[in-house]
Structure 1
């Protein structure tokens, strides 16, 4: 059984737009037959690549760190020394396209500011390499669709960096909610936030696409959907009052929103750059409950239920995420976190913004082709 096979029944997609059979390349198959791992190139060497992805790639079983793409040449010597990266596998944004001829690299992971995801994911697809994009997928639904189309045209796979789909506590929440283990979920609470410092590109709307909603609030959207196992049908929302108008002059400081589901279930959600928040909780029609707190962290996730603890071993989420994608490439499987899921979440993000901007309930249209997929649940 391949990596991730046991998780597909909980959150895999039974169908999604643009699905096509993609066979591993002859060179990829030759690597695996020779006992080699698939090579990953990280695009952007900021905090997430440095602190999480590169270390995780030292623990992966099916893939390895083979290359880097950076616009900061001063970072190169340390990355070369620490990870033994060959000179021929080091790129900048001007010669990025020449990765096409590099057999050491099979997967390109886009770890740039949100507003740059679409441009470089499309360029990555054009090199013939498989693509992972960090979340949020892009800063518009149109750009998400462009990314999907580019990968389909190039015949490569596209995945979004939704690491929590490989984390055992969150997988258990999916099971408890979607399988109605403690009854039908009737209400959900999802909160994620932190006190931001200088902020950098996260406070620049052109680069970020928004404030905490596009950053950590997306985990609340994800959590609500994979706990319920269904798409919400509408949303209402309200911005938080701004305490620091100089810092939050382009993006929101925080926002509350409520997702409404077809059967009357509601998910009350909250995100902020001024509060520390980290909760996913569900209550059922049988007066039972289950929750994770913290729910979305890189490690230290803890769970509890009305019937006892949710107690699993802590894992390296990013290592499992990247190995699962490598397994999908090797065995020509659907990734459980495809571009269509990223597009769905960006669609919901901007419905939330519209609700907050207008003060109205906004319908989330499930009939459009871009949202034409189903969650495999109960």
Structure 2
């Protein structure tokens, strides 16, 4: 295996700069120089639709490789073995996956199961000595998230959350513009996140498995987006819930929530999270010098957008490919994305979600 020093010498020879912060258009995603450094060997836990999307995207990764699976469905395991060439010794179920502690072929596990299972499964992975990548939301409340952070620290492993947008080129470009002051003093952010959900019997509409409804699944994008677009942490929230179908959206499963957040600078965010409306993947932010509008803003891509300076033209690269290569760079080299993807970042979102749910029940402003 080539050392990092030799690898950087090769890169220097081709005049490709090594970024101080992970750039989506970096050498790992776009360079023709063969990569010879360490590779993050990943097992995916949960072989549903999103797990499949991640697996497919990882085929283009240079720093991360799919090597194992964890599933409760033997037929899925067999299919993935055939599709991705996964050896039987790297296949586990939900009862025996603690045995990964004795498998040196696996470095990390990406937990892509229902929200209500994240905490216990992530803690078991950490206790097995493997890095944890957990899909968002990281748990069903902030307390669970903090327990996950503490467990991973105790086990001396990384806890990373599946924030793919933190690596997405157009999103990164907008954040850099904000950091450079190109929007001036920021005044207002609007986030609209929603779609019309289908099958009423799916796990997302089961309180025990999901921890909530649209807010946990799609509203979290507007929460996280407001934070990275404005570059601040909110100090208060207010929220109002609307439910038109109490049969489909049972107690504890939110259908539509409008929520507001206030920030230390005086900027405010006005957001919508829903399972009952389509065409709602939009961010808008305005400041004293300019604006940005993105629609779609968080879908799988391509992301589209414009600012006061014109269209955003950064190329589309599969989000999960960038995410997994970026996370490998973080684990091996400490190269951090422009916005954190660690467990502490996930807990911040969970605290806000907890406050929003509280505000919908009390009708009062909740201080953070």
Fold equivalence (TM over 0.5): yes
Rounded to whole Å, the distance in 2 between the matches of 1:74 and 1:332 is 38
What's the counterpart of residue 285 of structure 1?
Answer: 288
SS at match of 2:72: coil
Instruction: State the 1:306 CA deviation.
Output: 2.2
TM-score (norm 2): 0.88
Instruction: State the 1:175 CA deviation.
Output: 2.0
Instruction: State the 1:8 CA deviation.
Output: 5.5
Rounded to whole Å, the distance in 2 between the matches of 1:9 and 1:170 is 11
* Cα distance, 1:295–1:209 mapped onto 2, change above 3 Å: same
What's the counterpart of residue 245 of structure 2?
Answer: 244
What's the counterpart of residue 352 of structure 1?
Answer: 356
1:130 and 1:156 in contact (8 A); partners too: yes
Rounded to whole Å, the distance in 2 between the matches of 1:82 and 1:142 is 38
What's the counterpart of residue 304 of structure 1?
Answer: 306
TM-score (norm 1): 0.86
Instruction: State the 1:274 CA deviation.
Output: 0.7
2:276 equivalent to 1:274: yes
Rounded to whole Å, the distance in 1 between the matches of 2:336 and 2:107 is 17
CA deviation vs aligned residue, 1:203-250 (integer Å, no higher than 9, x gap):
01111111111111111011111111110110111012x222211013
Instruction: State the 1:145 CA deviation.
Output: 1.2
Instruction: State the 1:333 CA deviation.
Output: 5.1
1:131 and 1:157 in contact (8 A); partners too: yes
What's the counterpart of residue 326 of structure 1?
Answer: 328
CA deviation vs aligned residue, 1:61-120 (integer Å, no higher than 9, x gap):
011110000001121221111001100111001111001111111011100100110001
Rounded to whole Å, the distance in 2 between the matches of 1:45 and 1:6 is 34
What's the counterpart of residue 218 of structure 2?
Answer: 216
Which residue of 252, 255, 268 maps to 1:253? Answer: 255
Rounded to whole Å, the distance in 1 between the matches of 2:178 and 2:311 is 16
Rounded to whole Å, the distance in 1 between the matches of 2:325 and 2:23 is 18
What's the counterpart of residue 372 of structure 1?
Answer: none
Rounded to whole Å, the distance in 2 between the matches of 1:9 and 1:197 is 36
Rounded to whole Å, the distance in 1 between the matches of 2:259 and 2:112 is 28
Structure 1 stretches of 5 or more lacking a match?
A: 11-32, 365-378
2:139 equivalent to 1:138: yes
The correspondence of residues 51-130 of structure 1 with structure 2, limited to 5 A, is 52-130=53-131
Rounded to whole Å, the distance in 1 between the matches of 2:177 and 2:64 is 31
* Cα distance, 1:7–1:299 mapped onto 2, change above 3 Å: farther
SS at match of 1:216: helix
1:169 and 1:292 in contact (8 A); partners too: no
Larger RCO (CA within 8 A; separation ≥ 6): 1
Rounded to whole Å, the distance in 2 between the matches of 1:4 and 1:193 is 38
Rounded to whole Å, the distance in 1 between the matches of 2:128 and 2:206 is 29
* Cα distance, 1:34–1:219 mapped onto 2, change above 3 Å: closer
2:357 equivalent to 1:342: no
1:136 and 1:214 in contact (8 A); partners too: yes
